[in-house]
A and B are shown apart, each in its own frame.
Chain A
């Protein structure tokens, strides 16, 4: 397994680094937050990201994408993490594009080009209730006429309030807790019976709650095979976890670098506080954890691109590791900034908020540790 970036990947990373630092730095997020922007991201920025190939990064070339794979997508996500960039990259370019690659020729032809061109925002409505639990999906889809009728309540739907179409996971057979019996549907957010509540989140990024009350969809809204939605979801969740881990890596690394820079400047007791061993050893420990975490991300995404049979497990392991490491780094970051770490003026608090959301998204470290043990029969 190549764990070192090749030339194309280095180019992609450098391009993404320059792009986000210039076009979507942290102050852009502050502006979206402070102006209570209704969209929650800058549509102009999303068009530019599409022009750079970011929106179509896992879309096949025949549908207008650049199809560079998940490791490359992770390099983009890492830079977004460093800049706390708000965009539909995660919902649309990663989750929806991965799901739609499993769709019918017609569904692919309709939506994949629009993803790649930045003309559609697509949200995945999977989670329900308080914690991530895909097998616990209890939203139902019952046969109705030529199609289905959906009922249920979805939470943590990223970009749900601005989506042009949603991918809704619903139970078509089986019981709560079964992996089988879940199906995916393409649903128009403006359809009768849907109510959407944008939820303003702690990190000022997008999410929504979606209620479905007797929502009628046609038979061709089904994405993938009836009752076997988990097969598609596995691919979507692996991609989502791997990419969320990459974004956590970026956010964690930047929070750490900001902290180290701060303790090299701040003076107390007549000394630069970075001279104190109490801070040095904690910093060195965090450096080590971040290096270990980076390997987890690179290893998982490389395995995903290679079609490794353990890729989905590796992505979950990376998500677990990054959830823990990024949390450690952001919490220590605030503490080591001292009083200014509590102010809105400094960025370290924004990193802590974003990391809190990302580590919860698609399963936190506890969830994935539990799943890891289950899958190893212990």
Chain B
């Protein structure tokens, strides 16, 4: 047996022994996600226990160094853990923008003190982070952001407004893009800072969406004091960190299109079959097309990650994955609504699990807007991959 086979066998045994049975059932809704943080209320003892054992193992962040609460493992070992978790339908123990976005940026750009301060708390799920990027006047054109950070010697005074801040109402800290200089080009003069959401002058208002849910907030800053020790990377040069982080976000959005049950099963259960075929032939054809595309897209995610591991940089292809994955996901949910018919339209009923399909369908409309719209991704492909003039 290779080392990796041994690792797989050990992982399987350990997961069997340590993953509570309750944590091997599908997530039913937002309430089942474990986000951690100061104010997080665990849904069950099993949820807490599952987080605790994974934290102790360093497996909430398997590839981070052990000194920061990680498992010190290789990418291949991490993949084994994910495969083995998937095998027993184990839930992800901790969802966190700290893990998927800020952590990688701190590991690359942070000071030793910043890493020591923040990474272990992210790994243990003690601090819930949110991302302060978009502003009312800076969405797709993110670099035109105006939230101002004035230099006051050992600290900044921050004033301005962010919007589309995911889960800001539940977050403990924010990683935030602010303008420290507005004399040069728009990509210059942006800085990347961290601060506590309980700092005086921070105000959060949830935004109610078409899905009826409020996963996003407007966030206001008035004279918020931020110590300079919380500046990540160089002053005025936060754009490169922002871009690095966006690449991670795009991969996450582009790759996260799991619906669970295959579309055709949902359609067959809903519409019924005639002579072994879905009773709506046009819908049947569209579902077949979407399922073939999904297969090929999932292979593409694997292929691009394999190429990236082999040394080729993913680069602007993260935009391709984000564009295709989100558009495909929207298509799938449109077909799911078609298949669900009258039942899918119910908004508040036990039958519809409080409109789960409808709310999910509405939520997918944001997939191709957040993290850079599809149109912005197409611009990036035109410019950086196809090298078309003026793009």
* B302→A1 contact, CB < 8 A: yes
| Stretch of A105-113, A161-169, A187-195, A291-299 at the chain-chain interface | A291-299
Q: Is A343 engaged at the interface, CB distance under 8 Å to the other chain?
A: no
- Provide the residues of chain A in CB contact with B116, threshold 8 Å: none
Q: Are A4 and B381 in contact (CB under 8 A)?
A: no
Contact B323 A373 (CB under 8 A): no
> Which secondary structure characterizes the binding site on chain A?
helix
Report how far A269 CA is from B267 CA in the complex, Å: 50
Task: Point out the residues of chain B lying under 8 angstroms from A288, CB to CB.
Answer: 320, 323-324, 381
With a CB–CB cut-off of 8 A, which chain A residues contact B323?
284, 288
> Count the A residues whose beta carbon is within 8 Å of the partner chain — how many?
46
A299 with B310: CB separation less than 8 A: no
A107 → chain B closest CB, angstroms: 36
Q: Which of A142-150, A222-230, A273-281 contacts B (4 or more CB under 8 A)?
A: A273-281
Asked whether A317 lies within 8 Å of B295 as measured between CB atoms, the reply is yes
Interface size class of B (residues with CB under 8 A): 35 or more
A281-B375, A378-B267 given as contacts; is B388 within 8 A of A373 (CB)? no
CB atoms of A272 and B292 under 8 A apart: no
A1 contacts which chain B residues (CB < 8 A)? Answer: 302
Given A373-B277, A373-B288, A377-B276, also A3-B268 (CB < 8 A): no
A284 touches B299 (CB 8 A): no
Q: Given A4-B306, A288-B323, A378-B268 in contact, is the A275-B300 Cβ separation under 8 Å?
A: no
Q: Does A2 contact B (CB under 8 A)?
A: yes
Contact of B295 among A277, A283, A296, A366 (CB under 8 A): A296
Assess whether B118 is interfacial by the CB under 8 Å rule: no
Known: A295-B303, A369-B285, A378-B273. A284 touches B381 (CB 8 A): yes
Q: Are B303 and A3 in contact (CB under 8 A)?
A: yes
Name the B residues within 8 Å of A2 (CB-CB): 306
B127 interface residue per 8 A CB criterion: no
Q: Which residues of B contact A289 (CB under 8 A)?
A: 324
Instruction: Flag if A274 contacts B276 (CB, 8 Å).
Output: no
Task: Please measure, in the bound complex, the distance between the C-alpha atom of A1 and the C-alpha atom of B385, giving whole angstroms.
Answer: 27
Q: Could you give, for residues 295-335 of chain B, a 1 whenever the CB lies within 8 Å of some chain A CB and a 0 otherwise?
A: 11101101110110010000001001001100000000000
Instruction: Determine if B277 and A378 form an interchain contact, defined as CB atoms under 8 angstroms apart.
Output: yes
Q: Does A337 contact B (CB under 8 A)?
A: no
Q: Is B67 an interface residue (CB 8 A)?
A: no
Given A298-B303, A373-B278, check contact A281 B287 (CB 8 Å).
Answer: no
Which one of B276, B277, B389 lies within 8 Å of A275 (CB-CB)?
A: B389
Instruction: A277 to B375: give the CA distance in the assembly, Å.
Output: 10
Judge whether B4 is part of the interface by a CB distance below 8 angstroms.
no
Nearest CB to that of A377 among chain B residues?
B276
Partner among B276, B317, B389 whose Cβ is within 8 Å of the Cβ of A272: B389
CB interface residues, B 198-232, toward A, < 8 Å: none
Complex CA distance for A274 and B382, rounded to whole angstroms = 9
Q: Roughly how many angstroms separate A318 CA and B268 CA in the complex, as a whole number? A: 24
Chain A residues with CB under 8 A of B278? 373, 378
Q: Which residue of B lies closest to A256 (CB)?
A: B386
Interface 0/1 of A38-57, CB less than 8 Å to B: 00000000000000000000
A321 and B386: CB pair below 8 A?
no
In the complex, A264 has a CB within 8 A of chain B: yes
B391, chain A: closest CB distance, angstroms = 6
Contact status A293-B296, CB under 8 Å: yes
Instruction: Quote the shortest CB–CB distance from A333 to chain B (angstroms).
Output: 14
Name the contact of B382 in the complex, choosing from A283, A298, A314, A376 (C-beta under 8 A). Answer: A283
A299 with B296: CB separation less than 8 A: yes
Q: Establish whether residues B385 and A369, one from each chain, have CB atoms under 8 Å apart when the complex forms.
A: no
Report B-chain residues with C-beta under 8 Å of the C-beta of A298: 299, 303
- Which chain A residues numbered 349 to 372 have a C-beta less than 8 Å away from chain B? 365-366, 368-370, 372
Question: Is B284 in contact with chain A by the CB < 8 A criterion?
Answer: yes
- Residues on the A chain within 8 Å of B386, using CB: 260, 280, 283-284, 287
Query: Could you name 18 residue pairs across A and B whose Cβ atoms are closer than 8 Å?
Result: A4-B307, A281-B379, A283-B388, A287-B385, A288-B320, A288-B381, A296-B295, A317-B292, A365-B289, A370-B285, A370-B288, A373-B277, A373-B285, A374-B276, A376-B262, A377-B276, A378-B268, A378-B277
A-to-B contact residues, CB < 8 Å: 1-4, 260, 263-264, 271-272, 274-275, 277, 279-281, 283-285, 287-289, 291-296, 298-299, 314, 317-318, 320-321, 324, 365-366, 368-370, 372-374, 376-378
10 more A-B contacts (CB under 8 A) besides A296-B299, A299-B296, A321-B296? Answer: A274-B389, A280-B379, A284-B382, A292-B324, A296-B292, A298-B299, A320-B289, A320-B292, A373-B264, A373-B285
